[in-house]
Amino acid sequence: MALMTGNEYIESLRKLKTKVYIMGERVENFVDHPLVRPSINSVAMTYDLAHDPQYEDLITATSNLTGKKVNRFCHLHQSTEDLVKKVKMQRLLGQKTGSCFQRCVGMDAFNAIYSTTFETDKKYGTNYHENFKKYLIYVQENDLTIDGAMTDPKGDRALSPSEQKDPDMYVHIVEKREDGIVVRGAKAHQTGSINSHEHLIMPTIAMKEEDKAYAVAFAVPSDAEGVFMIYGRQSCDTRKLEKNADVDLGNKKFGGQEALVVFEDVFVPWDKVFLCEEYDFAGMMVERFAGYHRQSYGGCKVGVGDVLIGAAALAADYNGAAKASHIKDKLIEMTHLNETLFSCGIACSAEGSKTQAGNYYIDNLLANVCKQNVTRFPYEIVRLAEDIAGGLMVTMPSQADFDSPEIGGYCEKYFKGVDSVPTVDRMRILRLVENMALGAAAVGYRTESMHGAGSPQAQRIMIARQSNLEHKKALAKEIAGIK
Ligand code: SF4
Ligand code: FE
């Protein structure tokens, strides 16, 4: 099958019998649900841009498995150039959607599982790598969106998976059969899970022998028997349910999506199992997926940052404040921070290297530095955007007030900024800043910058492991003349 268009992707979701709960209710038609549709539109953009000749080189690639043209979101990176293009593609998608476009988790899982299964097979003589290749060819040929799922609910953080009072706090194998395995548990905060065709499950932490039932990786369709999802709510989400919802949404068309994905005794055939009790490879899979996803943030968050910087600059224009030197300086600072994140994304890509399996991995130290900066800079960028926008971004009346025959005229009159700009445009841009700073898109821009791809401490552990202090001490001794 050729590359899907955005519309074909949306229609393909309708064929799935995905079991979804939203605000306490089972929803059959999640595709047209106002709380879900913006996130589907974001993923659809990853399909549409693949057909735009000006982005062909970024959004498509040649598969090393089939030699055919595939969407880069389904691609195994074949060079550092591929890694760089990945980050640039993510920046572009962030610019086009102003939100999380979700499809990266699958791409990062493909690349992590591809190399980890190769090394697992080498040690144990298993057949995971060949099976995974077959699976990925199926994904590429059908241009699927896959939820790369890592984060377990984790229960008591002081206890290992096997020590938890409730054994389901981490996804685990409950039965090994001749034809496959049966798994139970859940994955939390799953980005793009409801609008993915399939789920690719990985362990969430490094494991010891006693945790081996939890060392499991596998693929299942979204509508597999025993799988269901509970949609996560977002700040200001019910605005999407209001009549004629438009201006107050800030970003009317696009959004992100997270859900709790539950696996109630789900059967997985052996050819879809990519790790089963080889606990000493759980850590490798986790580290590689996390490394790729920390690189990803040097692209996606930068693209969304571009939109936010643009919105702040427009807010200044519409307020008549654009010429003030402190405004100009704040926009420079926002740009400096945003481009620093991009530099990290590019650097960890350019310094990548080939894995034993043949695909390319990022420089893991630099990817962790990238993500550590992402836990901070978007907060400062948001602070500056709010500073520039002014308090009206959170005190402005609703669209309904502006539309009211009785009071609309007063809203129009008193919220007017510079004469050349219609009041409604000023409202739109302030609502967009609100959306990204503390509304629905803040999930993807602000809090996700903190916790997505691992919370700050996870990166500090990785930075500590790779900081090579002994080498640095040796350098200092040499210069200081110490034997
Ligand atoms: Fe992609 Fe960024 Fe969303 Fe992760 S947070 S899925 S990298 S857009
Ligand atoms: Fe994320």
What are 234-280's pLDDT values in tens digits? 999 999 999 999 999 999 999 999 999 999 999 999 999 999 999 99
Residue 99 Cβ < 6 Å to ligand 1: no
Residue 452 Cβ < 6 Å to ligand 1: yes
Q: The tokens of 347 are what?
A: 């650097």
pLDDT digits (tens, 9 = 90+) for 167-212: 999 999 999 999 999 999 999 999 999 999 999 999 999 999 999 9
Query: pLDDT at residue 2 above 90?
Result: no
Instruction: Name the pTM for this structure.
Output: 0.98
Q: The tokens of 13 are what?
A: 């979701």
Q: Specify whether the CB–CB gap between 203 and 285 falls below 8 A.
A: yes
Atom of ligand 1 nearest to the CA of 300: 2
pLDDT digits (tens, 9 = 90+) for 205-227: 999 999 999 999 999 999 999 99
Query: pLDDT at residue 319 above 80?
Result: yes
| Domains assigned to the chain | 285-474 (1.20.140.10)
Active site residue 276: no
pLDDT score, position 444: 85
For the segment 297-305, the average pLDDT, to the nearest whole number, is 98
Collect all residues with Cβ–Cβ distance below 8 Å to 9 and sequence separation of at least 6: 43, 44, 47, 143, 145
Residue 191 Cβ < 6 Å to ligand 1: yes
For the segment 98-110, the average pLDDT, to the nearest whole number, is 97
pLDDT score, position 443: 85
Q: How confident is residue 441, by pLDDT bands cut at 50, 70 and 90?
A: confident
Q: How confident is residue 1, by pLDDT bands cut at 50, 70 and 90?
A: low
pLDDT score, position 124: 98
Active site residue 236: no
Active site residue 348: no
Please choose, from the candidates 298, 188, 256, the residue with its C-alpha nearest in 3D space to the C-alpha of residue 439: 256
Q: How confident is residue 440, by pLDDT bands cut at 50, 70 and 90?
A: confident
3-state secondary structure of 19: coil
Q: Specify whether the CB–CB gap between 269 and 52 falls below 8 A.
A: no
For the segment 382-401, the average pLDDT, to the nearest whole number, is 97
Q: How far is the CA of 193 from the centre of ligand 2 (A)?
A: 12
pLDDT score, position 272: 98
